[in-house]
Structure 1
Amino acid sequence: MTLTTPEAPAGLPAPTTPGRGRGRSRRAGRADTRLPRARARRPLLFWPVTAAVTAFVLAFVAPFLVIVTNAFKTSADYRNNGPLSWPEEWNWDILADVWERVGFTQKLVNSVQISLGVVLIAVVLALFNAYALGIGRVRWRNAFLVFFLAVNVLPQEGMVYPVYYVFREVGLYDTKLGYTLLIGVVYSAFGTYLLTSVFAGFPRELLEAAALDGASRWTTLWRIVLPMSWPTLSVMCVFFFVWSWNEFLMPLVLLISGENQTVPLGLSVLQGQYSSDPTAMSAAALLGVVPMIAFFLVFQRTLTRGISAGAVK
């Protein structure tokens, strides 16, 4: 025997099952009471975070704005109004003057050549070393890792004099080739330590499948390991390029000729022992920063994808 619910007369609400309507009304009432609380909490978290991020951004942008404003001032304007004032008259000729005084074209070409060479040497050496230590599991693996870690923590000041005398003896002093080889080998130690930890967790199933298919070690590295490690390698390339571009101590000691010097050394040309030109130094600093800004704008997606790929397994 089947029971049916009686139909409600016209104009009256349909009857509800006892208990269901009450439960739904209670849940709806609870949802209605929760929504205002969630909406009330959001501004309390939103505004402090926004203020902290704004202060953090201003702390990084403020020095750059000071450099920009001083780069287009005249010397008299700087002496009369100070470094934090707005330029009374924009001096656009100072950039061309500093470009000629520093020889910025040659230094820019030198920095690009050296940075690209450092990236190539450091990444290739780090890739081969990490492939042998992380995947090949060579003998004395831990000892090699300790050695590469020691190279990373060794200060450059402790390497200046030994490298100086060695380069003088072998004929690499004041040459872009010798400096590029040195910085590339030093950076490869950090790359080796980083990639070894990445390759240590590489899926062994892929390596065993490649070995069963008859793939050699070179084929495995080129066809399997390299494509899967490209996000990490791209981040290393960006970091190595920026680090080598901003190097100052080593090129100051090893590159003494004007035709071999890099962009950061161009700033030291405008600083004398007893005199200095703050506006010219600001213009030179602006010329040195602009290429790095353009570099980050071009490779920001590569950097973001590499960091995201490394964070998500």
Structure 2
Amino acid sequence: MTTTTEPTARPRTHKRVPAAPNRARKNPTRKRGPGSYAVIAAVTVFVLAFLSPFAIILVNSFKTGADYRANGSLSLPEQWNWSVIGDVWERVEFTQKLINSIQISLGVVLIAVVLALFNAYAIGIGRVRWRTAFLVFFLGVNVLPQEGLVYPIYYLFKEMGLYDGKLGYTILVGITYSAFGTYLLSSVFSSFPKELIEAASLDGAGRWTILWRIVLPMSWPTLSVMCVFFFVWSWNEFLYPLVLLISNDNQTVPLGLSVLQGQYSSDPTSMSAAALLGVIPMIVFFLIFQRSLTRGLTAGAVK
């Protein structure tokens, strides 16, 4: 008896398809031409020219008077004198001036932004009558020079009892800055999507709800830029506080630092220290709000 053995089934082998060769595209680095090097050199020169005054102020803020007279303003201090800044701080009562500037600048920002928001909402979205005439009026307020307004404002403050008061000065500057904010926000609100407002109105939202729930959140990048600009402008104001804030307890930082310059005498080291004290708060402010400023400037459209 013969037995037949069946051939064992061979396992099926799947042929692997060879992978396509990975042809990575090579991105050759572009060679910089003479134009690129010229641009880099121009930017470097511009940055150095921009920073050189700050470096000179920083160096002279820690010099003694004898060191400054012997070696000039461009040399490094022979011995770093840290007492110059302390002396200037006490002479000008910088703590009080700093508090006054912060209070006034924050008040100006609050008044200017709120007024500009309401005005622009009425003009840009509400479409009030004589819209063009209002925009021309606000533009004219921005064009008028301060020197032409100081005289009537001085007598107006005298009659109203607001002279030499931080409250009256804050209201004045806030209303003045709101004209620019109104003109800026009106152009932004004029291109605001009408579909969102119509949809909110159909859902029963009133004007205040539309303003606070829809318009304000979507306009926050522009408002943040306005807040930064208004704070810096108010901090650097000199003519209005010079005329309207005469008492030492109400003066701001620029006025307090100006007392170091006399008609027949000056102390360069003290003035450099005073300038350094005046610019440090602005540097700190920009470092804190630089992201908000960058986002506001790069916000090109309302999504």
- Measure, in 1, the Cα distance between the counterparts of 2:160 and 2:36: 61
Q: Which of 231, 250, 266 is matched with 1:276 structurally?
A: 266
1:9-32 CA-partner distances (Å, limit 9, x unpaired): xxxxxxxxxxxxxxxxxxxxxx99
Amino acid of the residue matched to residue 104 of structure 1? Answer: F
Q: Which of 132, 135, 143 is matched with 1:145 structurally?
A: 135
Pairs within 5 Å for 1:1-313 = 39-40=30-31, 42-310=32-300
Conserved 8 A contact 2:104-2:166: yes
Q: Compute the displacement of 1:51 (Å).
A: 1.2
- Measure, in 2, the Cα distance between the counterparts of 1:82 and 1:162: 45
1:283-303 CA-partner distances (Å, limit 9, x unpaired): 011001000000000000010
Q: Compute the displacement of 1:46 (Å).
A: 3.2
- Measure, in 2, the Cα distance between the counterparts of 1:312 and 1:51: 37
- Measure, in 1, the Cα distance between the counterparts of 2:120 and 2:274: 39
1:242-287 CA-partner distances (Å, limit 9, x unpaired): 0000001110110000100000112211111111111001101100
- Measure, in 2, the Cα distance between the counterparts of 1:238 and 1:222: 21
Q: Compute the displacement of 1:87 (Å).
A: 1.0
- Measure, in 2, the Cα distance between the counterparts of 1:104 and 1:89: 25
Higher normalized helix content (fraction of residues): 1
- Measure, in 2, the Cα distance between the counterparts of 1:121 and 1:59: 37
Amino acid of the residue matched to residue 93 of structure 1? Answer: S
Q: Compute the displacement of 1:89 (Å).
A: 1.2
Provide closer, same or farther for how the CA distance between residues 311 and 228 of structure 1 changes in structure 2, counting only shifts above 3 A: closer
- Measure, in 1, the Cα distance between the counterparts of 2:74 and 2:150: 38
Conserved 8 A contact 1:232-1:310: no
Conserved 8 A contact 2:164-2:247: yes
Q: Which moved more, 1:229-238 or 1:263-272?
A: 263-272
Q: Which moved more, 1:301-310 or 1:224-233?
A: 301-310
- Measure, in 2, the Cα distance between the counterparts of 1:250 and 1:297: 27
Conserved 8 A contact 2:169-2:244: yes
Unaligned ranges ≥5, structure 2: 1-24
Provide closer, same or farther for how the CA distance between residues 311 and 55 of structure 1 changes in structure 2, counting only shifts above 3 A: farther
- Measure, in 2, the Cα distance between the counterparts of 1:39 and 1:270: 55
Conserved 8 A contact 1:248-1:264: yes
Conserved 8 A contact 1:235-1:307: yes
Amino acid of the residue matched to residue 112 of structure 1? Answer: I
Q: Which moved more, 1:44-53 or 1:143-152?
A: 44-53
Q: Compute the displacement of 1:49 (Å).
A: 2.1
Q: Which moved more, 1:50-59 or 1:291-300?
A: 50-59
Provide closer, same or farther for how the CA distance between residues 311 and 296 of structure 1 changes in structure 2, counting only shifts above 3 A: farther
SS in 1 for 2:30: helix
1:191-243 CA-partner distances (Å, limit 9, x unpaired): 00000000000000001001100100000000000000000000000000000
Unaligned ranges ≥5, structure 1: 1-30
Q: How many residues are aligned here?
A: 280
Amino acid of the residue matched to residue 39 of structure 1? Answer: R
- Measure, in 2, the Cα distance between the counterparts of 1:58 and 1:188: 36
User: For the aligned residues, what is the CA RMSD?
Assistant: 1.7
Q: Which moved more, 1:79-88 or 1:112-121?
A: 79-88
Q: Compute the displacement of 1:39 (Å).
A: 2.6
